[in-house]
Amino acid sequence: MKRTIYLLSSIAALAALISFSGCGKDPLKDMTAEESRIYITNHDSQANFKSYATFSIVDSVAVLSNRADTAKKALTDYDKQLISSVSAAMQSRGYTLVDKAAKPDLAVALTRIDNSFTNVAWNPGWWGGAWGPGYWGYPGGGWYWPSYYVVYQVNEKQTAIDVFDLKNPTADNKYVSVWNALWRGSGVWNTDNVASMVQASFDQSTYLTNK
Amino acid sequence: MKKILNWIMIFAGVFAAQAVSAQVRPPLSIDVNYSVASPLGSLKDYSGKTSFRGWTAGLQYMLNDQLSVGLRTGFQDFNEKLPRAVYPDKLGDVSAVQTRTLQVIPIQATAGWAFTKPDKPVIPYAAVGVGVANMDYKKYWGQFVESDNSWQFMVSPEVGVNIPFGQASPVLFNANVRYNYSPYKMGDITNFNSVQYSVGFKFHLN
């Protein structure tokens, strides 16, 4: 009888332990949208950011989906906020905003990416020149994450800012990207988050200045 | 006459000792413990917080009064969430809230040596576990996870005490300190090192 009680109590204790801490905490459960986001910036280490004086920015945002064959242009409230925040940030770094016709040194392209998987072919082609491919990982080349990374969300929305050098086209007349920012995670298409995401992207890119 | 009396005394003594030894408690026991573990070395750099989510469970068989062999398993969850920071990477600078986790499930064969006989009120012992551990590594960059799962060699020396609830009780309180080592390499982790503190119970079964 005693033995049975011991046996039962030990099994109960083991079961309690396992249910108490049998599996680890799921970090995704207590993560805010802000915490879920990552901001990736990259730049051309050969670029001399002090050599550029002027920039122009797109008048609408490219919307890209790997479910559609072509990119669309859009100008939602989000897109307006994005254009104005990025323009302000560029100006705060000493670059002068000019019209596209005024031969700017830098071109700023804005893209919203709606991925249903983790890869997307990208060729907006409406700036008036072909972008230098491959540098960022898209279009064409491999995606940012190594293959052992797992993206939990099947549908992922992203936003990208690309700054191209219009002063120094390549031999075959392509423009090279000198700076990129890519936002991933929850809420990157939320208008209220635009200002802080632009801020974070520029804050981590102190070299992006002509001062 | 005196000689006979001496013999009787000796025999009585031997029988008494044998009786105690044989009847203190049955040789097979199971144990369950709650564990707290502190990461050391490169594991601490990866996920520095002390883990309060852990347990161990084992089965032991006493070969004699002092030597035992067994099998054990357990679980320990290391978890640390770092405030947003910018991490330079070969493809760019990544601003992220990193959550760095490692879950460890060892399966080890054990050998233990008790420093006293089993009828003592406090039984200090030393043990060593040798086997494998499942390492479940997940480093979250925001909501994106970099993960790896593998089995690694693990060795775990241990010292502890067993305190019976009464001289011949089959139930003992157990407290132990264990050092875990595994030559596990993943990301910032160059070796797995932890100190694990456990308290629990040991039940001898007939």
Pair A90, A97: CB distance under 8 Å:
yes
User: Is any Cβ of chain B less than 8 angstroms from the Cβ of A137?
Assistant: yes
pLDDT value at residue A139: 35
pLDDT value at residue B146: 83
Residue pLDDT, tens place only, A164-201: 888 887 776 667 788 888 898 889 999 999 999 999 99
Place of tokens 């001399």: A48
Q: Does domain B27-205 have CATH number 2.40.160.20?
A: yes
Residue A3 burial (CB count, 10 A): 13
Distances (CA, A) of B122 to A26, B34, B198: 41, 20, 17
Q: Would you put residue B187 in left (φ > 0), alpha (ψ -120 to 50) or beta?
A: left
Task: Dump the DSSP string for A163-183.
Answer: EEESSS--TTS-BEEEEEEEE
Query: Is the CB of A38 less than 8 angstroms away from the CB of B75?
Result: no
A68: confidence class by pLDDT, cuts 50, 70, 90 = low
Distance CA A11, CA B91 (A): 51
Which ipTM score applies to this complex? Answer: 0.75
Q: Tell me A190's DSSP state.
A: -
Chain A residues within 8 A of B136 when measuring between CB atoms: 24
pLDDT value at residue A127: 32
Preceding amide of A139 cis, omega within 30: yes
Structure tokens, A118: 């983790």
User: Is any Cβ of chain B less than 8 angstroms from the Cβ of A143?
Assistant: no
Pair B54, B196: CB distance under 8 Å:
yes
User: Is any Cβ of chain A less than 8 angstroms from the Cβ of B55?
Assistant: yes
User: Is any Cβ of chain A less than 8 angstroms from the Cβ of B145?
Assistant: yes
Chain B residues within 8 A of A156 when measuring between CB atoms: none
pLDDT value at residue B161: 97
CATH class of A35-203: alpha beta
pLDDT value at residue B176: 98
Query: Is the CB of A185 less than 8 angstroms away from the CB of B34?
Result: no
Which of B53, B103, B144 lies nearest to residue A38, judging by beta carbons? B144
Query: Is the CB of A6 less than 8 angstroms away from the CB of B170?
Result: yes
pLDDT in tens, chain B (206 residues): 566 666 665 555 544 444 444 558 999 999 999 999 999 999 999 999 999 999 999 999 999 999 999 999 999 999 999 999 999 876 678 899 999 999 999 999 999 999 999 999 999 999 999 999 999 999 998 988 888 999 999 999 999 999 999 888 999 999 999 999 999 999 889 999 999 999 999 999 97
Distance CA A183, CA B149 (A): 28
Place of tokens 């990129």: A180
Distances (CA, A) of B41 to B102, B137, B181: 14, 17, 11
pLDDT value at residue B2: 61
Residue B121 burial (CB count, 10 A): 9
Query: Is the CB of A200 less than 8 angstroms away from the CB of B95?
Result: yes
pLDDT at A142 over 50: no
Alpha helices, H only, chain B: 2-23, 41-46
Query: Is the CB of B57 less than 8 angstroms away from the CB of A150?
Result: no
User: Is any Cβ of chain B less than 8 angstroms from the Cβ of A36?
Assistant: yes
User: Is any Cβ of chain A less than 8 angstroms from the Cβ of B142?
Assistant: yes
pLDDT value at residue A134: 31
User: Is any Cβ of chain B less than 8 angstroms from the Cβ of A211?
Assistant: no
pLDDT at A123 over 50: no
User: Is any Cβ of chain B less than 8 angstroms from the Cβ of A22?
Assistant: yes
Structure tokens, A81: 């906020």
Residue A150 burial (CB count, 10 A): 12
Domain boundaries, chain B: 27-205
Q: SS3 for B82?
A: coil
Distance CA B38, CA B31 (A): 22
Structure tokens, B157: 């020396």
Query: Is the CB of A35 less than 8 angstroms away from the CB of B84?
Result: yes
pLDDT value at residue B76: 96
If you count residue pairs, one on A and one on B, with CB atoms under 8 Å apart, how many are there? 117
Distance CA B85, CA A31 (A): 16
pLDDT value at residue B3: 65
User: Is any Cβ of chain B less than 8 angstroms from the Cβ of A14?
Assistant: yes
The residue in chain A having the minimum alpha-carbon distance to the alpha carbon of residue B202 is A10
